[in-house]
Amino acid sequence: MKLLFLFLDGIGLGEDNAETNPFVRANMPKLESLLGGKKLTGSAAPFENEHLSLIVADPNLGVKGLPQSATGQAVLLTGINIPAELGYHYGPKPNPEVAQYLNGATIFSKTVKAGKKAALLNAYPPRYFDGIDSGKRLYSSIPLALTNAGIRMFTHEDYYAGNALSADFTGEGWHEFLGFPDAPLFQPEQAGKKLAELAKRYDFSFFEYWASDYAGHKQDMPWAIRQLETFDSVLKGLLEAWQLEESLIVLTSDHGNMEDLSTRKHTASNVPLLVFGNPVARRGFSEITQLTEIEPAIAKYLQI
């Protein structure tokens, strides 16, 4: 019984508008086939078949203002309505008020306390750790929760050794932007199979993809479409190598953004919750309506 949490930053369920929504324009044959030929937009949800559930989740949580990354991710990790308790959404990086929730009460901490194995499958380059150590960079909610749980973050050495994946799945960014000309490269479908291989080593594994939020802020339609089409191939490889009868894949986001490129800002859109796996195992997620309910469903599934 294992669970892989695929976190795609800043994707909401948008309108069926090809002018503003890259999900309408992107060619995503694998996901669309699973959704009965539908695009991943608001009109497709809710949806259920033998392969997956598509559920609508509210990231606004009854709090005024647009949802933000620090609080949204902290909610996903804890199941606590942190924006309601604080009275505001906050991001991108957690302030001290948000950070206090990420020490001991997260899904990472709960997994460790239950004697099970957990990991963040992303590899981080040396300059990331240099920035943290120098104080020039702050942890986002996910690495903060991970390290507070006593779990090690993966480095470039882990990436070279085949024990982690790059944040863009394929490793192209390590060549183009990070200065690692000999870093491993994967075709998208191959990267998906590698992700499955890594996730099977742990009871609970997490993968963070943040470029989707960047594309939304930059209003970059071509880049957004490329990302989605790459991800669809990753998903194809992942599902081919994953044992859906035995384990679950949960995919969701912290807030909307990339689904509406008419604005640089986050949106108030609901976010998709996609659950891949055995229909019986997916039942624990069927009644979810908002972000706070995702972590408790994961914890129950993992029996922690």
pLDDT digits (tens, 9 = 90+) for 59-103: 999 999 999 999 999 999 999 999 999 999 999 999 999 999 999
User: pLDDT tens across 97-142, in order?
Assistant: 999 999 999 999 999 999 999 999 999 999 999 999 999 999 999 9
The domain locations on the chain are 3-302
Q: Is the peptide bond before 46 cis (omega within 30 degrees of 0)?
A: yes
How does DSSP classify residue 159?
H
Could you tell me the fold of the domain covering 3-302? Alkaline Phosphatase, subunit A (3.40.720)
Confidence grade of residue 244 (pLDDT, cut at 50, 70, 90): confident
Q: Which class for 164: exposed (0-12), middle (13-18), buried (19 or more C-beta within 10 A)?
A: buried
Tokens of 101: 């929730």
Distance CA 252, CA 273 (A): 5
Which pLDDT score, from 0 to 100, does residue 252 have? 98
DSSP string, 252-264: E-SSB-TT-TT-S
Tokens of 131: 């920035």
Instruction: Kindly report whether the global pTM for this prediction surpasses the value 0.85.
Output: yes
Q: Specify the residue for token string 């044959």.
A: 29
Tokens of 178: 């990070």
